[in-house]
């Protein structure tokens, strides 16, 4: 009964465009876009358990049972809307010869020796996230940015985006019974996507700030010139002979008000040109494809380490492994006692 409820919730969230994955057959992890999150106390990342006995093991998760308000909300929303969030890359050739040679020719292993152990065809998945980025200052600019995250390493791998339109994409997997490699928690995958988007938007933010600063400087100069003219006129009137005390007081008050109004106008301009950046998750999808996982034994100076590399039928090549420190793709791997396999930049201390 509990498994049925958990499966129902997973499917319902999926039809609403959320990513929903079951962890260890015990907990349901959900990443919802901002619109869907509004129905769940504006929480984009949700964890649910369906067995009260698991509350000590997952204290951060919400316990769901029949009659829970979240369940009622989910049923209501799912009955109104549906969308596909799981897609499969079909029609790929998954056989290749001389895979050991392909690995040796493609990946350079330094300060260690790599021994080939085995290979197996497995199902592999990416998370695709679509974000809307809004840059708001005196003008408004919007961008849609898509990022693909490898679920095994939680590293960004956008190569798939360049070829996705050329592939046969289906809603059902043509290969049944394939196992799936161990994947990272959805929270870690989502954080990787958010970090990438933050870095991607930095150049645009700096460009907009420069343009906005130029506009602001011109407008401030115009305002200052206007109020300087007012100030000069008031001071000229103050220098006239025969002014009564009341007239002098009134003109001095005008002088103060002129200064205060100028400062207020400048503050308004600064607020108008202040850049605000809003990033919203529009939707997400899981993309599945087959890959050949190759198991390697890495022999370091005083330690043995096991490492996986993948032959990718989409690109008909060995995927660049991801550095286990900085998560950058690299065909140059060094063995590190603390992190495992790292790239040359991390080995040289540049990252």
Q: CB under 8 Å to 95, separation ≥6 — which residues?
A: none
* 283 band by pLDDT with thresholds 50, 70 and 90: confident
Q: Where are the beta strands (DSSP E) in the chain?
A: 19-23, 27-31, 45-49, 62-63, 86-90, 108-110, 113-136, 140-150, 155-156, 168-170, 276-299, 304-312, 317-318, 332-336, 340-342
> 60-69, 102-111, 119-128, 254-263: which range is least confident on average?
60-69
Q: Return the pLDDT at 150.
A: 93
Going from N- to C-terminal start, the domains of the chain cover 2-78, 206-277
Q: pLDDT tens digits for 205-234?
A: 898 889 889 999 999 999 999 999 999 998
Residue 192: how many other CB atoms lie within 10 Å: 22
CATH architecture label of 2-78? 2-Layer Sandwich (3.30)
Distances, alpha carbon 91 to alpha carbons 151, 289, 318, 327, in Å = 22, 10, 19, 30
**Range picked from 22-31, 202-211, 232-241, 314-323 for highest mean pLDDT:** 314-323
* 83 band by pLDDT with thresholds 50, 70 and 90: very low
Q: Return the pLDDT at 80.
A: 64
Looking at residue 329, what DSSP letter applies? B
Which has the higher per-residue pLDDT, 85 or 19? 19
* 79 band by pLDDT with thresholds 50, 70 and 90: low
The arithmetic mean of pLDDT across residues 307-335, rounded, is 94
Distances, alpha carbon 265 to alpha carbons 136, 220, 269, in Å = 20, 8, 6
- Give CA–CA dist 277/295, Å, rounded: 44
Q: What does the DSSP assignment read for 109-168? A: EESSEEEEEEEEEEEEEEEEEEEEEEEESSSEEEEEEEEEEETTTTEE-THHHHHGGGSE
Which has the higher per-residue pLDDT, 243 or 325? 325
């Amino acid at each position: 009964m509990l498994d049925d409820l958990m499966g129902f919730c997973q499917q319902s969230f999926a039809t609403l465009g959320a990513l929903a994955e079951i962890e260890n057959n015990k907990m349901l992890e959900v990443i919802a876009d901002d619109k869907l999150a509004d129905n769940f106390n504006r929480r984009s990342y949700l964890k649910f358990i369906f067995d009260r006995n698991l509350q000590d093991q997952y204290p951060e998760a919400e316990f769901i049972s029949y009659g829970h308000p979240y369940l009622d909300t989910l049923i209501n929303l799912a009955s109104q809307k549906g969308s596909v969030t799981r897609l499969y890359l079909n029609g790929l050739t998954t056989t290749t010869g001389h895979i050991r040679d392909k690995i040796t020719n493609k990946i350079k292993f330094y300060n260690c020796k790599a021994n080939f152990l085995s290979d197996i065809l497995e199902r592999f998945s990416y998370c695709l996230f679509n974000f809307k980025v809004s840059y708001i200052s005196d003008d408004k600019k919007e961008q849609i940015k898509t990022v693909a995250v490898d679920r095994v390493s939680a590293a960004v791998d956008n190569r798939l985006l360049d070829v996705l339109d050329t592939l046969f994409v289906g809603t059902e997997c043509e290969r049944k019974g394939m196992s799936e490699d161990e994947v990272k928690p959805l929270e870690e995958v989502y954080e990787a996507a958010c970090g990438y988007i933050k870095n991607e938007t930095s150049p645009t933010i700096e460009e907009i700030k420069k343009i906005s600063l130029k506009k602001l400087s011109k407008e401030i100069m115009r305002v200052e010139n206007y109020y300087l003219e007012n100030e000069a006129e008031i001071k000229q009137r103050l220098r006239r002979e025969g002014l009564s005390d009341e007239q002098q007081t009134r003109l001095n008050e005008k002088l103060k008000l002129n200064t205060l109004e100028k400062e207020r106008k400048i503050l308004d301009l600064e607020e108008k040109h202040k850049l605000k950046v809003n990033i919203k998750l529009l939707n997400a999808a899981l993309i599945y494809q087959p890959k050949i996982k190759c198991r390697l034994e890495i022999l370091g100076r005083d330690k043995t380490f096991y490492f996986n590399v993948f032959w990718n039928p989409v690109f008909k090549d060995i995927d660049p492994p991801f550095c286990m420190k900085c998560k950058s793709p690299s065909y140059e791997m060094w063995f590190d006692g603390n992190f495992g396999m790292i790239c040359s930049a991390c080995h040289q201390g540049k990252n």
